[in-house]
């Protein structure tokens, strides 16, 4: 049985406490919005203003203003808080702060309307499968199917577009893993927050200013295999690490999981073939490896009303040496 825990809905805690924000002066223009537990994303579109997303889509903040120089200074400062450098020679950068906050910034002339900042804020509570059901992410029958996949130790691939809720759904599924099992997660940026007592988190590292010291997901995946994981999870496959993931899940590591960007279940085969090509896998090898390794594909989408919903559960199959999908019984 999974261990019991109490969870608050995404974007707020039971006591609606503010989200922790770095106590640095550079954060001041955005502090109010970064601390708001209901805000999931903050966007600064150069001199065109500030937008925030509280779960129902981006909304413009009409009384927020900074001039071009101030917006640039803000972008450089926010990236510096994450230990990286942003200037004309390096006009694009992505960093992670404490508590899973992701900050991405682009300077002019790459960003045509002034420095552009995109901030993804982690939820203030742990994701819970029952809570997602109450929010309308899936109906009771689909919820029971998802729990059964976890109980049966199926290898699960969660798919969806950016911001669809892949990480939240995956975290909720992993929260149902028995407490006796060891979960090792590997992410480009550590976002998965799981209500589980035995969770080991590994995070990739970018190269320093000299271009050395990078630790890629593929390397971390090989290291994780030596850590005796009961559940091996890759937060997102974006490139050649898909080869290591499929290899690992084909060598007795049941109950694993990963996420992949895709606009629909029907698009998953093409997406995986593209990732496999980056890893030197031909379509035939990719199809056979995927059909053997992945037990279920769970697709989630964000509707126009802002609600994330599971729109399908399928399984990969081989059709004429190419990868396909069919509905999971």
Residue 12: per-residue pLDDT: 38
Residue 205: per-residue pLDDT: 79
CATH 3.30.450.90 fits 25-120, yes or no: yes
Beta strands in the chain (DSSP E): 41-45, 50-53, 58-61, 92-96, 102-106, 116-120, 156-160, 183-187, 199-203, 231-234, 257-261, 296-302, 308-319, 322-327
Q: Any idea where the domains of the chain sit in the sequence?
A: 25-120, 129-327
Q: Which class does domain 129-327 fall in?
A: alpha beta
Residues 157, 235 contacting (CB under 8 angstroms): no
Residues 214, 203 contacting (CB under 8 angstroms): no
Residue 143: per-residue pLDDT: 95
Per-10-residue mean pLDDT, the chain, length 329: 34 54 89 90 94 88 93 95 88 83 93 94 77 93 96 96 89 95 88 90 78 82 91 87 85 88 94 94 95 96 88 96 92
Beta strands in 204-256 (DSSP E): 231-234
pTM of the predicted structure, to 2 decimals: 0.80
Residue 16: per-residue pLDDT: 54
């Amino acid at each position: 049985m999974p261990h019991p825990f109490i969870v608050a809905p995404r974007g707020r805690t039971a006591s609606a406490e503010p989200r922790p924000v770095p106590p640095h002066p550079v954060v001041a223009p955005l502090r109010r919005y970064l601390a708001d537990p209901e805000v999931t994303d903050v966007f600064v579109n150069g001199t065109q203003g500030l937008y925030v997303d509280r779960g129902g889509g981006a909304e413009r903040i009409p009384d927020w203003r900074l001039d071009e120089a101030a917006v640039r200074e803000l972008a450089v400062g926010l990236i510096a808080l994450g230990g990286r450098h942003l200037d004309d020679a390096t006009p694009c950068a992505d960093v992670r702060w404490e508590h899973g906050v992701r900050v991405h910034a682009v300077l002019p002339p790459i960003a045509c309307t002034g420095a552009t900042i995109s901030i993804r804020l982690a939820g203030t509570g742990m994701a819970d499968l029952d809570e997602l059901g109450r929010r309308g992410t899936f109906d009771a029958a689909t919820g029971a199917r998802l729990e059964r996949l976890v109980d049966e130790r199926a290898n699960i691939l969660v798919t969806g577009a950016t911001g669809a809720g892949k990480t939240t759904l995956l975290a909720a599924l992993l929260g149902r893993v028995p407490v006796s099992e060891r979960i090792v997660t590997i992410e480009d940026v550590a976002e998965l927050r799981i209500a589980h007592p035995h969770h080991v988190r590994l995070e990739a590292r970018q190269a320093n200013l000299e271009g050395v010291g990078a630790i890629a997901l593929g390397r971390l995946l090989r290291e994780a295999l030596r850590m005796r994981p009961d559940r091996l999870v890759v937060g997102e496959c974006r490139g050649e690490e898909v080869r290591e993931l499929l290899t690992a899940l084909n060598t007795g590591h049941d109950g694993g999981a990963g996420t992949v960007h895709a606009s629909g279940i029907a698009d998953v085969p093409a997406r995986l073939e593209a990732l496999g090509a980056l890893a030197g896998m031909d379509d035939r090898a990719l199809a056979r490896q995927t059909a053997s390794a992945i037990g279920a594909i769970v697709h989630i989408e964000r509707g126009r009303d802002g609600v994330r919903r599971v729109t399908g559960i399928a399984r990969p199959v081989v059709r004429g040496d190419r990868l396909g999908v069919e509905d999971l019984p």
